[in-house]
Amino acid sequence: MKLLASLTSPYARKIRILLAEKHLPFELVVDSPWESATRVPEVNPLGKVPALVLDSGEVFFDSPVIAGYLETLEAQPALLPPGGIERVRVRQTEALADGILDAAVSAFLESRRPEAQQSTVSIARQHDKIRRSLDELEKRVTGRDWLDGNTMLLGDITVAIALDYLDLRLPQTDWRTGRPALTALHERLASRPSFVDTVPPAG
């Protein structure tokens, strides 16, 4: 299978980390959807990465969908519970982390527009979403090693990716201050080879 990904996309990084943790072989096709020569719209009409192209030619896109597909391959370790409310809870944690990413990407892109065109209201709204979500995650992980269950799961991975993305794009968020449990979770995950090998390039 081939993964179309840009090296800076946190959503694509989620899939690269899942593939690495599960030791699943794949070809990484680096493609930035923002560049005119991009081939991403040929496989994903939304023009977004990540997109996973199977050997059969079937394509899956949107990182939660790709993550769900990877679980069907039954490669170890399982990063989602097999079903029931436990699986819903992990997907909820993933959605919360993806929501932080959506807000961070939006605030970052807004801040890159010419100053006169920037909406400070919109940027503040995104920062409010990020702060509330981080506070909720801190509450959920306090006194525990992992957010859901007793082992590292998809929710933990996605949260750590979102925290790394805040360090990269919105360092002024200063998310560690007052959030020791989230800081500890991040430290535990950021040192894993799958994270170290996928650190986004600066710039």
Ligand X SMILES: N[C@@H](CCC(=O)N[C@@H](CS)C(=O)NCC(=O)O)C(=O)O
Q: Which of residues 1, 4, 11, 126 is near ligand X by CB under 6 A?
A: 11
From 43-51, 84-92, 107-115, 144-152, span contacting ligand X (CB under 6 A): 43-51
**Alpha-carbon distances, residue 71 vs 114, 128, 180, 192 (angstroms):** 43, 33, 31, 20
Contact criterion met (CB below 8 Å) for 43 and 51: yes
CB of 4 to ligand X, least distance (A): 9
Angle at 79 between CA 133 and CA 83, to 5 degrees: 90
155 makes contact with ligand X (CB under 6 A): no
Can you tell me the distance from the alpha carbon of 163 to that of 40, in angstroms, rounded to the nearest whole number? Answer: 26
Which backbone phi and psi does 2 adopt, to 5 degrees? -120, 140
- Measured from the CB atom, is 10 or 81 closer to ligand X? 10
49 makes contact with ligand X (CB under 6 A): yes
Can you tell me the distance from the alpha carbon of 29 to that of 25, in angstroms, rounded to the nearest whole number? Answer: 13
CB of 14 to ligand X, least distance (A): 7
- Residue 129 tokens read as 């979403």
- Measured from the CB atom, is 45 or 180 closer to ligand X? 45
Site string for ligand X, 61-100 (x = CB under 6 A): -xx----------------------------------x--
| Residues of the shown chain interacting with ligand X in the complex, contacts defined by CB under 6 A | 9, 11, 33, 47-50, 62-63, 98
